[in-house]
Amino acid sequence: MVVLFAFVAGVLALLYAIFLIFNVTSRPSGSPRMVEISDAIKNGANAYLFRQYKTLVPIIIILSIVLFFVFGWVTVGTFLLGAVLSALAGYIGMNISVRANVRTAEAAKSGLANALNIAFRGGAVTGLVVAGLALLGVTAVFYLTQSVALTIGFGFGASLISLFMRVGGGIFTKAADVGADLVGKIEKGIPEDDPRNPAVIADNVGDCVGDCAGMAADLFESYGITLVAAMILGVLIGGNMVVFPLAIGAAGIIASVIGTFFVRLGKNQNIWNALFRGVLVTAVISAIMFYLTSTFLLKDIQGKFAFSPNISIFLAAVVGLVVTVVISYITEFYTGRDKKPVREVAEASKSGPAINIISGLALGLRSTFPTTILIISAILAAYYLAGVIGIAIAALGMLSVTGMIVAVDSYGPITDNAGGIAEMSKLPPHVRKVTDALDAVGNTTKAVTKGFAIGSAALAALSLFVAYAEATQLQAIDVLKPQVVIGLFIGGMIPFLVSSLLIRSVGKAAFSIVEEVRRQFKTIKGLMQGKAKPDYGKCVDITTRAALKEFVTPGVIAIVTPLSVGFILGPEALGGMLAGSIVTGFLLAVMQTVAGGAWDNTKKFIEAGNLGGKGSFAHVASVVGDTVGDGLKDTSGPSQNPLIKVMNMVALLFASLIVAYSLL
């Protein structure tokens, strides 16, 4: 019956998404010039995504063959399902974005309410598809195989694709962004989104493939694998606890669908309030439904709980909701344009770029303190309430509102794109003013969802870690053993190494864009005067190739490292490695995301006319910080989430083999 409930909720999400797609695409898409630009973005994004998928095919085939010989065809099937659905979630999310962007720009002509409406509905499609597909996928695998263990293959497929999409999209978006800015804004002194900039379309494509497709795949994965981990740990308790995770998922989806109706611009025209109301309603309805489902399903389960089983589990899920709210608050505090930390970085910018960098870096490092305290409090509370399953339930409680969170997040790149289209099609200033207002809030929601993605990834990875220990039947992962210490060091180091690779990839890719943009400005006569058109496609193509060349290595590291440690040093060492990777992956994700976000908003704060405004010494310094932060906050930082999840997933999948065949 719970399975049926989950099916219904998943299908409901998809149906409502389809309704929204029709609704959004039926809106007018503006002048031929606007359609032309929008088409260029759409084609670039689709071309990138298809080439990315094509690059992945051989990897998927090799892994399928390995999985076939090791685990048989059922696992291959579930693996492929996870991979395909993950890719599909990204694909749909991106495609609605490239359709909603131009329509948001068009709607902006008639005011804020209309534009917000379309942009948010576009985002909601992505949110509902992500949550719906993940829930349906896990439910289907469980229903068809009647085995919790076989959902692991699904999780692995989802996990792997999400890492590749996060990394690939992340490199693309930042390479294009940095490349466009370095020549356009700094060397040539033309504004953001200026149609004369040859990299401007690539920049917009990047928003779609990175922020939409990448984020969608990432949260699809977090959601899917947390369901898997919670079900695996649920088996230990038995009874309805096995399927209860699906019920939480279903409850969250229904709450998200209802929540979308509450996103409406109030009389005070406050966009953030409109979006936040949606999130709040979703959280409250979720909590109520958690209470009802746990009371209905979990009254009779056995196990050690702080209170009665249903209340304990309910409270553990609420812990997750609380983490969602608090981590959003922390991220917003450290990166918000009007908050003290960013003002301090702005103040420091008066002493030049070096001091701007130093103070942003210090800020990012410092923000790990409250975030860590939050996560350990959640772990402590969840464990106190319900033991290890409590941690998985807290993660799930957090992720249950994924639909709404992704909706609010995907709204960001849509409005960002809409602004770009308005600028490039030379729409009247009041239109750009509307899209700018939407975009400003988009930056906040982006920061908030990044916090959400990091926190949920940490809890999801921890759940997988516990599930791994369960699967290997390890009695302990003892740091006093040298192989565990070694595992800890290796695991701790991997996020540093992958960060390095990604930061370098962005730098290299951006460099090739810089050269191409410079070349076009030099060789295309009349480009600077606006008399000739740049070759947008060439920049998209270069970014695509650069991203494709770079996005595979981190994925390979994420698969090879846990297998090497496991098969050479043994399952306990692998446990140490996983723990190490979760800790530093989490810390580096927080640090990079916050530092990057703060640098970005420092620049915006100064551009808003503070401390001398645009063109001042402080502004020049803040542009340097923003450029440094771009790769940290949108590529390297967010990639830590899928990285730690994939490593834990690989370990979980190969757990029994590692126990049987490890060298030591």
Considering only residues 381 through 440, tell me which ones interact with a second copy, judged by CB under 8 A: 383, 388, 391
Nearer residue to a second copy within complex by CB, 150 or 539? 539
Residue 518's CB: how many other CB atoms inside 10 A? Answer: 16
With binding defined as CB under 8 A, does residue 596 bind a second copy? no
Window of 4-12, 571-579, 610-618, 648-656 that interacts with a second copy by CB under 8 A: 571-579
Residue 576 interacting with a second copy (CB under 8 A): yes
CA 412/CA 427 separation, integer angstroms: 20
Distance from C-alpha of 176 to C-alpha of 156, rounded to nearest angstrom? 30
In sequence order, which ranges of 146-262 are alpha helices (DSSP H)? 151-180, 200-206, 215-237, 244-260
Q: Which is nearer to a second copy, 280 or 485 (CB)?
A: 485
At 547 the three-state DSSP class reads helix
Which residues in 470-529 contact a second copy (CB under 8 A)? 474, 476-480, 482-486, 488-490, 492-493, 496-497, 499-501, 503-504, 506-507, 510-511, 514
Part of the chain binding a second copy (CB under 8 A), chosen from 335-343, 351-359, 449-457, 602-610 = 351-359
Using CB under 8 A, which of 375, 385, 461, 649 touches a second copy?
Answer: 375
CA-wise closest residue to 122 among 149, 144, 102: 102
Q: Any contact of residue 365 with a second copy (CB under 8 A)?
A: yes
Tokens of 620: 């020049």
Are 556 and 643 spatial neighbours (Cβ–Cβ below 8 Å)?
no
**Closer residue to a second copy, CB minimum distance, 43 or 512:** 512
Tell me which residues in 122-181 interact with a second copy (CB under 8 A): 178
- Under a CB-based contact definition with an 8 Å cutoff, are residues 619 and 603 in contact? yes
Query: Which of 165, 176, 466, 509 forms a contact with a second copy (CB under 8 A)?
Result: 466
Site stretch for a second copy (CB under 8 A), options 102-110, 124-132, 191-199, 377-385: 377-385
CB of 385 to a second copy, least distance (A): 11
The structure tokens 């503070």 sit at 610
Whether 395 contacts 622, CB under 8 Å: no
CB of 466 to a second copy, least distance (A): 7
Nearer to a second copy, 198 or 252 (CB): 198
Toward a second copy, which CB reaches closer, 318 or 466?
A: 466
Q: Which is nearer to a second copy, 262 or 384 (CB)?
A: 384
Measured on CA atoms in the order 539, 541, 545, 551, is the torsion positive or negative?
positive
Terminal-residue alpha carbon distance, the chain: 46
Site for a second copy in 329-348 (CB under 8 A): 348
- Interaction with a second copy in 191-230: which residues (CB under 8 A)? none
Supply the minimum distance, in Å, between the C-beta of residue 193 and a second copy: 20
- Asked if 379 is part of the footprint of a second copy (rule: CB under 8 A), the reply reads yes
Q: Is 306 in the site for a second copy (CB under 8 A)?
A: no
Nearest distance, CB of residue 284 and a second copy, angstroms:
29
Query: Does the protein bind a second copy through residue 624 (CB under 8 A)?
Result: yes
The contact pattern for a second copy, residues 436-465, with x = CB under 8 A and - = no contact, is --------------------------x---
Size of the site for a second copy (CB under 8 A): 74
Question: What sign does the CA torsion over 106, 110, 114, 116 have?
Answer: positive
Q: How far apart are CA 108 and CA 591, in angstroms?
A: 36
- Using a 10 angstrom Cβ sphere, with 0-12 exposed, 13-18 middle and 19 or more buried, the burial of residue 66 is exposed
Between 111 and 352, whose beta carbon lies closer to a second copy?
Answer: 352
Among 115, 321, 579, 655, binds a second copy (CB under 8 A): 579
Cα dist. 420→9, 188, 429 in Å? 36, 18, 13
Closest distance between a second copy and the C-beta of residue 536, in Å?
A: 22
Instruction: Closer to a second copy by CB, 102 or 379: give it.
Output: 379
- Decide: 301 and 238 in contact? Cβ < 8 Å: yes
Q: Which of 3, 47, 325, 358 binds a second copy (CB under 8 A)?
A: 358
Cβ 174 vs Cβ 553: under 8 Å: no
Residue 596 burial (CB count, 10 A): 29
Q: What angle do CA 458, 462, 465 make, to 5 degrees?
A: 140
Separation of alpha carbons 21 and 13, rounded Å: 12
Shortest CB 316 distance to a second copy, Å: 13
Of 539, 370, 572, nearest in space to 454 by CA: 370
